[in-house]
Structure 1
Amino acid sequence: MSRDRLLTMMEVAVMTGLAVVLSNVKFGALWAMGGSISLIMVPIFVIAFRRGWKMGVLTGLLVGLLNLLIGGYVVHPVQLILDYPLAYLVLGLASILVLKKGAVPSITAIVIGLLFATTLRFLSHFASGVIWFGEYAPEGMNVSLYSALYNLSYLVPEMLLTLGVLLLLAKKYPQFFLAKRTRHESDAA
């Protein structure tokens, strides 16, 4: 096994574990049917921007599966897929829009990637909410509107918190997004 491949696997494992730990550090109130504001998305986005969308998707998949195993709420097999593995693996697609590989992503690329991937996560949770959790909508309220408002109520703040952390990292420690550093760069740091 090559050194780079081993290092990539170790980074995916560490970021997956970090995401699961950060999912337990919650900000704000807890929602009745799941959803919370945490920093769970930060490690998934970091590995996606650092190692590319494939490793980002793998990390997101692992995070979703671990969240399911640790405390998932399942009413149907398709809902399980929508709310856990799919909702998190799509976050890894954030880096698909980064044009220059191996470079620190621009602020614009981070913002667009984060918006794109979080929208995909929202759509996954939204579909699950409409199909399986519509019964919890207040009487007379449109089920689609209920699902949209419910999921946006925690995903928007979580996205903004994640964006703040990523922008801080990009500004203060941009080399964190670089997978490889040459000997010369290591000596200069």
Structure 2
Amino acid sequence: MGIAIVVIGIALLLLYFWDLRKEKFTTRKIVLIGLFAAISIVLYMIPLIKYPQGGGITLFSMLPVMLLGVIYGRREALTCGLIFGFLKIIGGGGIINPAEFLLDYTLSTMVIGLSGMFGTDKKWKIFLGCIVVGFIAAGLNTLSGVLYYAQYAPKGMNIWVYSIVYNYSSTGVEALITSIFMMILPIKMLKERIGK
């Protein structure tokens, strides 16, 4: 299973890099991507609820990546998510093997950048995009939990149930709260001030 995840993960990263060729990164965009990734990692370091085996609910660490996805688009936001994932590792994340690295620190943080996937012209579209990508991120963390953290499940508890509860009560809840918060933000004004 790990080999399949690595192959699929690398294929997705290659698609990302292929798509990235079409983007012209100006100094402004590079600075914004770096700034938003830095804000994400700072917010990630402020836990609201911390879980014993890692993870938990942080202070809107998904928000900057989601916001960049809505304001600028997927390429900039996927790049921001990738940098955010690498910063999480530098900040003390543990890597068990390449597949776990791809699931927990690459794909799950990058997918958050697809927040504008349903459009950005209406608040409900933004909410839907944010909640979907947040739950996909939690799903990737859940798969990682099933494959690489089974030893932490309580004795007799199904590992899938344990991982779903663990990850959706942390990443899933944070995604829901962040998606609701995105509805409050003045997106139009932010697009005018920060956007293209």
Q: TM-score, normalised by structure 2?
A: 0.81
Runs (5+) with no aligned partner, structure 2: 1-23
Aligned equivalent of 1:184: none
Please tell me whether the aligned partners of residues 69 and 116 of structure 2 are also in contact (alpha carbons under 8 angstroms): yes
C-alpha separation in 2, matches of 1:157 and 1:8: 30
Please tell me whether the aligned partners of residues 105 and 177 of structure 1 are also in contact (alpha carbons under 8 angstroms): no
Within 5 Å, give how 1:105-124 maps onto structure 2: 105-124=121-140
Aligned length: 170
C-alpha separation in 2, matches of 1:40 and 1:140: 33
C-alpha separation in 2, matches of 1:13 and 1:148: 32
CA shift, 1:49, in A, is 0.5
Aligned equivalent of 1:176: 190
Within 5 Å, give how 1:44-123 maps onto structure 2: 44-98=65-119, 105-123=121-139
Aligned equivalent of 1:156: 172
Amino acid in structure 2 at the alignment position of 1:14: L
C-alpha separation in 2, matches of 1:117 and 1:177: 20
Please tell me whether the aligned partners of residues 56 and 93 of structure 1 are also in contact (alpha carbons under 8 angstroms): yes
RMSD value over aligned CA atoms?
1.7
CA shift, 1:115, in A, is 1.6
Q: CA 1:121/1:4 → structure 2, altered by over 3 Å: closer, same or farther?
A: closer
Q: Which has the larger radius of gyration?
A: 1
SS state at 1:141 partner: coil
Within 5 Å, give how 1:32-47 maps onto structure 2: 32-38=52-58, 39-47=60-68
Within 5 Å, give how 1:9-48 maps onto structure 2: 9-28=30-49, 30-38=50-58, 39-48=60-69
C-alpha separation in 2, matches of 1:73 and 1:87: 15
SS state at 1:27 partner: strand
Runs (5+) with no aligned partner, structure 1: 99-103, 181-189
Q: TM-score, normalised by structure 1?
A: 0.84
Amino acid in structure 2 at the alignment position of 1:174: K
Please tell me whether the aligned partners of residues 138 and 172 of structure 2 are also in contact (alpha carbons under 8 angstroms): no
Structure 1 stretches (4+) deviating beyond 3 angstroms?
Answer: none
SS state at 1:40 partner: coil
Taking every aligned residue pair, what percent have the same amino acid on both sides?
25
CA shift, 1:80, in A, is 1.4
Aligned equivalent of 1:131: 147
CA shift, 1:177, in A, is 2.9
CA shift, 1:136, in A, is 1.2
Q: CA 1:4/1:76 → structure 2, altered by over 3 Å: closer, same or farther?
A: closer
CA shift, 1:4, in A, is 7.5
